[in-house]
């Protein structure tokens, strides 16, 4: 079988060291992918349980209509992502240690706001992050006068 190509395609082929060639499973037509020609389809037939590389012009239609093949294009297997996918949650959010309520952080670096920090309220507790609701429920009696005033100021603003 001879393959006729243009002179420009011949010049491109002379410069290549290796060829990407496809061969149709039925008509033995040659496809040179290095020249930018459209690729043949790679199919799997469930009826015949065979893999075929078919040219689009004739062989694909013959396999479907005359031979009755059930052709499916194989999808390349996807690899799992290299890094674990982060949850759909903003990076500057945190959670209260007591009630697990979502709280807004102070910066992109994961720093919590002062009103959610127990040391801001001068509380001795093992919890690192507390929402204002938990501070009011559990630790309101332990707050000093000025901190209690600050607490009610934050509640009045609607930060609870």
pLDDT in tens, 17-49: 777 777 777 777 777 776 777 777 777 777 777
The model's confidence at residue 137, banded by pLDDT at 50, 70 and 90, is very high
Q: Give the pLDDT score at 90.
A: 63
pLDDT in tens, 51-110: 777 777 777 777 766 676 777 676 666 776 666 555 555 667 788 888 888 888 887 776
Q: What angle do CA 122, 143, 112 make, to 5 degrees?
A: 45
Q: Give the pLDDT score at 140.
A: 92
Comparing 45 with 123, which gets the higher pLDDT?
Answer: 123
Q: Give the pLDDT score at 7.
A: 84
Q: Give the pLDDT score at 109.
A: 72
**For residue 52, what are its two tokens?**
């075929």
The model's confidence at residue 150, banded by pLDDT at 50, 70 and 90, is very high
């Amino acid at each position: 079988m001879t393959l006729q190509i243009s002179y420009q395609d011949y010049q491109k082929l002379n410069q290549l060291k290796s060829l990407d060639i496809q061969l149709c499973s039925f008509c033995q037509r040659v496809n040179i992918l290095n020249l930018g020609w459209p690729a043949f389809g790679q199919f799997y037939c469930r009826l015949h349980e065979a893999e075929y590389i078919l040219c689009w012009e004739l062989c694909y239609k013959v396999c479907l209509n005359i031979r009755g093949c059930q052709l499916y294009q194989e999808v390349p297997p996807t690899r799992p992502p290299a890094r674990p996918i982060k949850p759909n949650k903003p990076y500057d959010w945190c959670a209260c240690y007591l009630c697990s309520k979502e709280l807004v952080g102070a910066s992109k670096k994961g720093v919590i706001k002062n009103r959610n920090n127990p040391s801001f309220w001068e509380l001795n507790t093992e919890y690192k992050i507390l929402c204002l609701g938990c501070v009011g429920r559990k630790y309101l009696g332990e707050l000093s006068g000025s901190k209690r005033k600050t607490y009610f100021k934050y509640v009045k603003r609607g930060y609870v």
